[in-house]
Amino acid sequence: MTEEEIKTTIFQLLQRIAPETDPSRLMPEENIREALNIDSFDALQFIVAINEKLNVDIPEEDYGKTSNLKSLLAYLTKKLKE
């Protein structure tokens, strides 16, 4: 999966949770939760959706690495290569 494809998937999943937003306008280091008004329940749903869609398991202790687009992309790219 290319980085671009991962990105598209992330945007789709985020938009499913926050349909009133446009995730593709996120800046790389912007806090996703703050920018899209996502609460902790939504954030968990997002993690579950990533797991289902990309088959990547993100343990609770790694949630801090998913806070912005840049770190999330790096994290997922690495995980998908493993």
Partner 1 sequence: MKEPNLTDYAKLYQQFDWQYVRSQLAGLPNGKGLNIAHEAVDRHASGDLRNKVALRFHRKKENVEDYTYGDLKTQTSKFANLLHGLKLKEGDRVFSLLGRVPDLYIAALGSLKFKAVFCPLFSVFGPEPIFQRLSKGDAKVLVTNTSFYEKKIKGLLNRLPSLDFILLTDSSDDLDMKALSLTKLMEEASGEFIIPSTDPEDPALLHFTSGTTGMPKGALHVHQAVLTHFATGKYVLDFQKGDIFWCTADPGWVTGTSYGIISPLVNGVTSIIDEEEFDALRWYSILEKQKVNVWYTAPTAIRRLMRMEIVPKEKYDLSNLRLVLSVGEPLHPGAVSWGQKAFGVPVLDNWWQTETGGIMIANYRSMEVKPGSMGKPLPGIIAAIADVEEAEIKIYDQPENQGHLVLKKGFPSLFRGYLHEEERYKKCFKGNWYISGDLAKIDKDGYFWFIGRADDIIKTSGHMVGPFEVESTLMKHPAVVEAAVIGKPEPSIGELVKAFVVLKEGFEPTDDMRQELIGFARKTMGPAVAPKEISFIESLPKTKSGKILRRLLKARELGLPEGDLSTLEKG
User: Site residues for partner 1, window 9-38 (CB under 8 A)?
Assistant: 16, 18-21, 33, 37-38
Least CB distance to partner 1 at residue 37 (A): 6
Tokens of 28: 């790389």
- Cβ closer to partner 1: 59 or 82? 59
68 φ, ψ (degrees, to nearest 5): -130, 170
> Could you tell me which stretch among 5-13, 50-58, 60-68, 74-82 binds partner 1 (CB under 8 A)?
60-68
CA distance 50 to 53: 5
Let me know how many helices (H) and strands (E) the chain has, helices first: 4, 0
Minimum distance from residue 82 beta carbon to partner 1 (Å):
18
Which span (4-12, 49-57, 59-67, 73-81) binds partner 1, by CB under 8 A? Answer: 59-67
For residue 41, state whether it binds partner 1 (rule: CB under 8 A).
yes
Dist. CA 17–CA 9, nearest whole Å: 13
Q: How far apart are CA 68 and CA 26, in angstroms?
A: 9
